[in-house]
Chain A
Amino acid sequence: MNQPAAISDIPIETCVTPEQEHGERAVFCGLTSIIWLHRKIQDAFFLVVGSRTCAHLIQSAAGVMIFAEPRFATAVLQERDLAGLADCHEEIDRVVAQVLERRPQLRNLFLVSSCPSEVIKLDLENAAGRLNRQYGGRVRFFDYSGSGIETTFTQGEDSCLSRLVEHMPADDSNEPRLLIAGTLPDIVEDQFLRLFGDLGIGAVDFLPARSLDDLPPVGKQTRVLLAQPYLGQTARALIGRGASLVEAPYPLGAEGTLEWLRAAARTFAVDDDRFERVTAAPLARAQRAVALQRKRLEGKRIAFLPDSQLELPLARFLQRECGASLLEIGTPYFDRQSLAAELELLPAGIRIVEGQALNRQLDRVRAAQPDLTVCGLGIANPLEAEGLRTKWSIELMFSPIQGFEQAGDLAELFCRPLVRNERLAV
């Protein structure tokens, strides 16, 4: 295997075709998304059918444990389940009953499949169907895959939402409605709702909704605006139900948010004056807030290791709004449809690497010596110990970063390791 050239040696070209890399991957699996999904969808329980590893992953990735009894758990497969001594479907029913006994108020339950349950071909769709009949609608059951052999990190949410699309009621009205897909923190959601309201777009739904009782309708009049870049499958499922996709960059940074809103405004024929009027003040605020951070990021060389699938929009924000220069951008997988509008904003000749061969990638990072490397939790400290500055990307999943009011915070998240480095004299 010949060593890829150092990042800085790559000539600037014009086309955006990701390079492919195959090898050892250092990314979480889709189960990880349960950590934010269970907080967003407050009336659902997530039951992973998996192994002790799966339980340990969620617990470790959550980092800070949740005090109350959480709304997720794992049904850990035992030797007797595998040896056929116990009937797995009976076992699922038993464990589900146990969960429901503990939480009699529970209305919705996700059965989440994992690598082990998928390798032994345990059919959770079948189980969900059976349980739905059994509980006669008192509790609703859904299934989706969060396994590491099928999904990468945030893709778990894609898998979950695309399943929910099947359960969304049909909308046969003639009134266009806006559907925002992708988990956003409540506070961000409310900010957007106000903006849409001011723009005169009144019919706005969110997927996931905070309650599964309020699953939004979908139909020919649905205009889907993705709030997260990892929802390719969900987008396709929505299109499959008649919806149309509004192409837009993602609402990260002042520019990203503006263009995202503008795409919606155009779709709903909001006139330009009104759009200017509504967005002017928050846009100016966002720009001011980013400008405050910009001086620290200007000219800084930033590399991304593949992780949350937010890499490209974040890179776009850092480059266009913060003046950073981009080295290699790793991404776990590359979904051209979901990223089309982002690619237009990125500079030509950018180096995108899809997939991962961990050690070769780390070699390239070492050779390039970026000012900041955005990477997963397991790799951050080792790179720091080698004298590199890092931003661990899972924090970006847990903090409100989208929208005008958070643009400054987003920039600040990247500044912090640099500022800290300047301060420390040890």
Chain B
Amino acid sequence: MELTIWTYEGPPHVGAMRVAASLEDSHLLLHAPQGDTYADLLFTMIARNGKRPPVTYTTFQARDLGADTAAIVLQSAREAAERFKPALMLVAESCTAELLQDQPGTLAAGADLEVPVVHVELAAYSRKENWGASETLYHLVRALLNGREDRSERKPADPARRPRVNLLGPTELGFRCRDDVTEITRLLDAAGVDVNLAAPADASVADLLRIPDADANVCLYPEIAQTTCAWLERKFRQPTVRTVPIGVGATRDFLAEVAEATGIEIDIDKIERNCRLPWYSRSVDSTYLTGKRVFIFADATHALAAARIAREELGFEVVGLGTYSREQARGVREAARQHGLEPLITDDYLEVERRIAELQPELVLGTQMERHIAKKLGIGCAVISSPAHVQDFPARYSPQMGYEGANVIFDSWVHPLMMGLEEHLLGMFREDFEFNDEAMPSHLAAVPGEGYARSGQDDTGTAAEGTPAWAQDAERELKKIPFFVRGKARRNTELFASERGVETISVETLYEAKAHFSR
């Protein structure tokens, strides 16, 4: 057993769900108990999808265990096939079902569903979410294409058309995947390369059948696509482009690798002209970024990219580097060595917290977990990787990849450092007689009204002169009200009391006022 407090990755079947939810016309039959349906909210609440993920859960209960959970599998499979008419049915088990050994894959395959069935084994007790997504994609692609004839050499280039590549790896709930696909498609277009398809994101099952038509595969997210790319390389001799184009330097390397894989020439300088990061980073205003101590912890793909950008493109000093992706840890170890650091490979969030507290960096680049750690320690933070929370699925276009991605990264990493400066200024002027507690940092100045709540400020403090007094029990009652509305409750109650000439606020007054103002 392993003591787990927060987890970076969900169980492997969540990875399978992410693949199913990415594809246009597949459906996942998940043999799982009712509580596992919580995973829907990852898609509908965190990523704000307007549709439920295409998943049917068998939701067996204890009383079914003695009887026939297999029958439930069959019935669920039939109902799902009939209702959703998917082009393909994925079948998997969550941790509990894995113990039952009902073999839902075999059951579904024998159920005459009139839709192809692909079973994925998910090793719930040794693996995690990204691995689950990777396995699902691999089994899916293999099931669809294994019958094709192997190629003994690369497909010859067709001079009549532009070269085309597959973008493999972008998946629902991945960090900024959707925007990355758009950005890389534009980038490649500018370089004279077409995108054959992106998968699993938004691909249909029919699209997947066209994978072999491409001249090369771009492995955009190795955590999810590496296994599939390797198989396609063996089977169809499709070369894999391995550089992940996050950051200016990596995007250059990426384009160079694409040029090599497709046999064309790409004018990289010309394309790079649109990128502002290099100039912004050189402008004098950025001097204060020099040597900022930054701590990086993320999935391997984003951690590696961040380390390179931090050092080469923003002039930071990387003081810590790590990842929770054990499967991809090798690259991170190596990069850490190059930075002269001890790599942190762990999925224990408390260990990450300890390390950050020890190192006291000026900026943390991480997941939503590190955002919490940084908040707690009062350090600036930017989220660069899954797991991410709802605010990391922004409404605006904000890719991480390609040249526009580099621009986005410049803004979002420099912002927390600037906020720090402003806070500092605010602190400096605190003693000024013109300083007003309602003052806000200027980046919030457009939001009038609500005072800027400074952390640590005691909003239950004693009342100023002229306002009614608080009876002790009323004061105690007030403290029970959540801090973020307490200030308002205090003001309203005092207003209510003074308007009525009440001198001492009792618990009763507090609630009279509450009733009065609640409309």
Which residues of A does B touch, CB under 8 Å? Answer: 23-32, 49, 51-57, 59-61, 63, 65, 67-70, 73-79, 81-82, 86, 88, 91-92, 94-95, 98-99, 115-116, 118-120, 147-150, 152, 186-187, 190, 194, 281-282, 285-286, 288-289, 292, 359, 377-382, 384-385, 405, 408-409, 412
Which of B1, B126, B376 interacts with A95 by CB under 8 Å?
B1
Beyond A51-B125, A52-B124, A116-B99, whether A73 also contacts B34 by CB under 8 A is no
| Residue numbers in B under 8 Å from A92 (CB-CB) | 1
CA distance A67 to B124 in the complex (A): 28
Give residues 23-54 of B contacting A (CB, 8 Å).
33-45, 48-52
- Does the CB pair A187–B477 fall under 8 Å? yes
Chain A binder among B218-226, B272-280, B407-415, B506-514: B506-514
Which residues of B does A touch, CB under 8 Å? Answer: 1-7, 9-11, 13-14, 33-45, 48-52, 56-62, 65, 76, 79, 83, 94-96, 99-100, 123-126, 128, 350, 368, 372, 375-376, 477, 480-481, 507-508, 511-512, 514-515, 518-519
| Residue numbers in A under 8 Å from B13 (CB-CB) | 53
- Does the CB pair A53–B4 fall under 8 Å? no
- Does the CB pair B95–A51 fall under 8 Å? yes
- Does the CB pair B62–A150 fall under 8 Å? yes
CA distance A22 to B5 in the complex (A): 35
CA distance A354 to B99 in the complex (A): 29
B387 to chain A, nearest CB (A): 9
- Does the CB pair A99–B3 fall under 8 Å? yes
- Does the CB pair A53–B10 fall under 8 Å? yes
CA distance A232 to B519 in the complex (A): 36
CA distance A54 to B100 in the complex (A): 17
- Does the CB pair A119–B11 fall under 8 Å? no
- Does the CB pair A378–B38 fall under 8 Å? yes
| Top 10 A-B residue pairs of the complex, sorted by shortest distance between their CB atoms | A29-B35, A378-B40, A385-B50, A148-B35, A148-B33, A51-B95, A115-B96, A149-B62, A285-B515, A91-B1
Beyond A26-B40, A52-B124, A78-B126, whether A67 also contacts B376 by CB under 8 A is yes
| Residue numbers in A under 8 Å from B57 (CB-CB) | 24-26
| Residue numbers in B under 8 Å from A78 (CB-CB) | 1-2, 125-126
Chain B residue at minimal CB-CB distance from A81: B1
CA distance A289 to B95 in the complex (A): 48
- Does the CB pair B65–A119 fall under 8 Å? yes
B48 to chain A, nearest CB (A): 6
Interface of chain A, main secondary structure: helix
- Does the CB pair B96–A51 fall under 8 Å? yes
Which of B11, B42, B518 interacts with A289 by CB under 8 Å?
B518
B143 to chain A, nearest CB (A): 25
Beyond A378-B44, A378-B52, whether A65 also contacts B368 by CB under 8 A is yes
Chain B residue at minimal CB-CB distance from A363: B83
- Does the CB pair A147–B33 fall under 8 Å? yes
A226 to chain B, nearest CB (A): 23
CA distance A19 to B508 in the complex (A): 45
* 14 A–B contacts from the bound complex (CB under 8 Å): A25-B57, A26-B37, A26-B57, A27-B37, A30-B35, A49-B1, A52-B10, A53-B95, A76-B2, A120-B99, A147-B62, A148-B61, A382-B50, A382-B52
Beyond A149-B33, A194-B507, A408-B515, whether A56 also contacts B52 by CB under 8 A is no
| Residue numbers in A under 8 Å from B99 (CB-CB) | 82, 116, 119-120
| Residue numbers in B under 8 Å from A28 (CB-CB) | 34-35, 37-38
CA distance A280 to B350 in the complex (A): 52
Chain A residue at minimal CB-CB distance from B126: A79
B167 to chain A, nearest CB (A): 27
- Does the CB pair B372–A116 fall under 8 Å? no
